[in-house]
Amino acid sequence: MRDLDLILQAYEASGGDPDLLKNDRVARLVISGNEVIGLNEIQGISMQAEPLEDGVRVRLEVAPGVQIPQPVHLCFGVIPESGVQRIVSDFDIGDGADVAFTAHCTFPNALEVRHVMDGTITVGAGAHMRYHETHYHGETGGVVVEPLARVQVGEGGSYTSTFSLSEGRAGKVAFQYEVDVAEQGSAELNARVMGYGDDEVLVRETIRLNGVGARGLAKSRIALRENARGEVYGTTEGNAAGTRGHIDCIEIVRDEAIANAVPVVRVTDPQAQVTHEAAIGTVDKKELETLLARGLTEEQAVDVIVRGMLEG
Amino acid sequence: MTEGKTAPLLQVQDLRVAREGHEILRGVDLQVDAGSVHVVLGLNGSGKSTLAYTLMGAGGYTTLGGSILLEGEDITQEPIDARARRGLTLAWQEPARFEGLSVERYLSLGQPEPDRERLLEALEAVNLDRAYLPRYVDEGLSGGERKRVELAAVFAMRPRLAILDEPDSGIDRFTLDDIATLMRRMASEGSAVLLISHRDEVVQIADHASLICGGRIMQTGLPDVICDRYTQYCSPCEQPIVVERGDSYA
Ligand SMILES: Nc1ncnc2c1ncn2[C@@H]1O[C@H](COP(=O)(O)OP(=O)(O)OP(=O)(O)O)[C@@H](O)[C@H]1O
Ligand SMILES: [Mg+2]
């Protein structure tokens, strides 16, 4: 199977462990273009994948109360230089379930590839979902990636997502995440993106803390150089008593890169609290000088700081 | 340079430094010999950190006059990394935090070549166990832990001269004995230490000591003498008492 080999290669190059994609005890879904080339269900998880003209529609359910021991592996890619891949997904995490996902998206040869991840996610009451997505877009910058997600976190449930792109070009990345959190639930959104060349990184995240005691954290770490652009719009709403939200945005810019951050905090209940911090600019002077005092050159020191920020 | 062989490790002459237009160091004279431990004692605001940062070459300070010589070579205008590559390093009074940088990697950054044994030795020297290696040098470390990691990083680097700015502040159970052991160990490996403190007990571990006040070294001499002077006469003063500078060590 040529496609599978190519996608496995790309997956491995982006930091994935190919053995896991062969292990039958690991739930997985591998999609190349609009073709499902690997699907493995395990007890407690059901997956349906149906091809669309320009992608795949996926429905994934985790049964209530089930704890999935190993992360579910998702691997999406487009191997040719051009193409569209739209993954329309519906994730339903049953009440009290606990599951982690490791997703790898690779477009190693992209000159003109568009990848849309259009997800609807429901995390049930008391359920926990962690989603870790790593992207590798090659060195040409010819990718447009649009991760869109609408997430509902039920009472006492938690949702954590991490999007990471710290190798190769970003191309154009436009996130749009909207999360609603019910009573005592929590949501944490992490975006870590590096951009250079004429890459564009746009992050739009909204967390609505609707239930009493709900918590939210939106954390973005963007490193830009050359002519890259970055925009981060983070909105967090505290709509009930005892809600706690925080927006934490750091963008490091070098060369001709331009960044902006617009944190919006909105509180509609006097007992809610939402805070934000945003730091945009060059690397922190003291961090830099500390590493210089260890004998690193300025370039090495900046590299250590930026990598740490993107990986931490 | 023939003079290089006999020159002291560090020689500071009439160093005057300003920050944001305010003259803070007002003519510092100081000498540190290779392999020795030299303590600079002074009250809050006397200019200790300013001295440490200017010796390291940190930004934000303007040199108004004077010179800094390392092994006879004038480094007054050199950038930090060039000074570090000559073997000079600094442990900051309030060390920086780094997201996503592990203690292990942080300790290894200053090493001329990778030496894991040395990292473990460095951790042990500051009473931290190896469970700290994978932890991040970020907000997750307490203030005292962060300072210990800073000392370990300096130790791991085997510097020619380590400037330690208040290494003991904020570190509990890291007694004077621990610091003395660390200093002695560094000295036995050929590292000199310029230890900056406001605590007079620290002087016990020094070969030489200096008293700084109002941005000037008021006196340099044997540790006991300096300690007596500091404890008996030093109180925050508007006008520094001008005394003879650069007493000989003998
Ligand atoms: N930007 C500035 N403008 C004016 N004065 C400054 C500035 N920065 C520092 N100073 C002053 O310089 C003096 C020396 O500061 P420094 O930090 O070197 O003192 P220190 O001896 O290290 O004190 P501590 O024991 O509190 O650490 C202080 O009086 C301080 O207020
Ligand atoms: Mg100080």
Domains of chain B, by residue range, sit at: 10-239
Collect all residues from A whose CB is shorter than 8 A from any CB in B.
221, 284-287, 289-298, 301, 304-305, 307-312
Determine the average pLDDT of the residues in B111-117.
Answer: 88
Which residues are bridge partners to A281 per DSSP?
A: A252
Q: Burial, B5: exposed, middle or buried (Cβ in 10 Å; 0-12, 13-18, 19+)? A: exposed
Confidence of residue B247 (pLDDT cuts 50, 70, 90): very low
**CA gap A66, A76 in Å, rounded:** 25
Helix axes B116-125, B176-188, angle to 10 degrees: 150
Q: Are strands A55-62 and A82-93 parallel, antiparallel or unpaired?
A: parallel
CA of B150 vs chain A CAs: smallest distance (Å)? 10
Cα separations (Å) of A308 from A29, A311, B36, B137? 30, 5, 36, 10
**CA gap B128, B139 in Å, rounded:** 17
Q: Which pair of tokens denotes residue A195?
A: 């951009």
Q: Which pair of tokens denotes residue B185?
A: 């160990």
For residue A20, what is the DSSP state?
A: G
State residue B166's pLDDT score.
92
Bin B143: left if φ > 0, else alpha if -120 < ψ < 50, else beta: alpha
Ligand 1: residue of B17, B19, B20, B24 to mutate (most ligand atoms within 8 A of CB) is B24
Confidence of residue B193 (pLDDT cuts 50, 70, 90): very high
Each residue of B27-39: pLDDT tens digit? 999 999 999 999 9
**CA gap B172, B179 in Å, rounded:** 12
Give me the helices (H) in chain A, please.
Answer: 2-13, 285-292, 298-311
Question: Would you give the end-to-end CA distance of chain A in angstroms?
Answer: 37
B248 has a pLDDT exceeding 50: no
Does residue B159 sit at the A interface (CB-CB below 8 Å)? no
Which residues are bridge partners to A106 per DSSP?
A: A77, A136
Where in chain B does DSSP place strands (E)? 10-19, 22-32, 37-41, 62-70, 73-74, 88-91, 161-165, 192-197, 208-213, 216-221
Indicate whether A128 belongs to any domain. Answer: no
* Burial per residue of A97-115, b for 16 or more beta-carbon CB atoms within 10 angstroms, e otherwise: bbbebbbbbbbbbbeebbb
**CA gap A294, A167 in Å, rounded:** 26
In this structure, chain A runs to a length of: 312
May I ask the CATH class of domain B10-239?
A: alpha beta
Q: Find the largest Cα–Cα distance for chain B.
A: 51
Nearest ligand 1 atom to alpha carbon B24 = 12
Q: Which domain holds residue A296?
A: 282-312
State residue A160's pLDDT score.
98
Q: A287–B92: do the CB atoms touch at under 8 Å?
A: no
State residue A36's pLDDT score.
93
**CA gap A169, A141 in Å, rounded:** 5
Q: Are strands B22-32 and B10-19 parallel, antiparallel or unpaired?
A: antiparallel
**CA gap A67, A75 in Å, rounded:** 21
State residue B18's pLDDT score.
97
Question: Would you give the end-to-end CA distance of chain B in angstroms?
Answer: 27
Residue in A58, A27, A290 with CA at minimum distance from that of residue B81 = A290
Indicate whether A8 belongs to any domain. Answer: no
Task: Tell me which chain A residue has its CA closest to the CA of residue B158.
Answer: A294
Over pLDDT 70: what percentage of chain A? 99
Q: A309–B138: do the CB atoms touch at under 8 Å?
A: no
Contact A19, A115 (CB under 8 A): no
Indicate whether A298 belongs to any domain. Answer: yes
Does residue B140 sit at the A interface (CB-CB below 8 Å)? no
- Which run of H or E residues covers position A194? strand A186-195
In chain A, the number of structural domains is: 1
Q: Which pair of tokens denotes residue A198?
A: 């004429």
Separation of B179 CA from ligand 1 center, angstroms? 25
State residue B242's pLDDT score.
46
Computed over every residue of chain B, the mean pLDDT equals: 88
**CA gap B155, B139 in Å, rounded:** 22
Indicate whether A25 belongs to any domain. Answer: no
Each residue of A98-152: pLDDT tens digit? 999 999 998 888 899 999 999 999 999 999 999 999 988 888 889 999 999 999 9
Of B84, B97, B138, nearest to A293 by CB-CB distance is B84
Nearest ligand 1 atom to alpha carbon B21 = 3
Indicate whether A55 belongs to any domain. Answer: no
**CA gap A5, A239 in Å, rounded:** 49
Helix axes B143-156, B116-125, angle to 10 degrees: 130
ipTM, two decimals: 0.91
How many Cβ atoms from other residues are within 10 Å of residue A3's Cβ? 15
Encode chain A (312 residues) as per-residue pLDDT tens digits. 467 777 777 778 777 787 877 888 999 999 999 999 999 999 999 999 999 999 999 999 999 999 999 999 999 999 889 999 999 999 999 999 999 999 999 888 889 999 999 999 999 999 999 999 998 888 888 999 999 999 999 999 999 999 998 888 889 999 999 999 999 999 999 999 999 999 999 999 999 999 999 999 999 999 999 999 999 999 999 999 999 999 999 999 999 999 999 999 999 999 999 999 999 999 999 999 999 999 999 999 999 999 999 987
- Which run of H or E residues covers position A251? strand A244-253
- The residues, ordered by sequence, that sit 6+ positions from A120 with a Cβ below 8 Å of its Cβ are A89, A90, A91, A149, A150
Indicate whether A224 belongs to any domain. Answer: no
Locate tokens 């800073």: which residue? B150
Determine the average pLDDT of the residues in B176-192.
Answer: 87
Nearest ligand 1 atom to alpha carbon B47 = 18
Take atom 16 of ligand 1 and give the residue whose Cα is closest. Answer: B47
Measured in whole angstroms, the distance separating CA A179 from the mean position of its chain's CA atoms is 13
Cα separations (Å) of B6 from A74, A275, B9, B158? 67, 59, 9, 22
**CA gap A302, A177 in Å, rounded:** 30
Angle at A113 between CA A110 and CA A116, to 5 degrees: 135
Separation of B176 CA from ligand 2 center, angstroms? 19
Q: Which pair of tokens denotes residue B224?
A: 């006991």
Q: Which pair of tokens denotes residue A199?
A: 């890459």
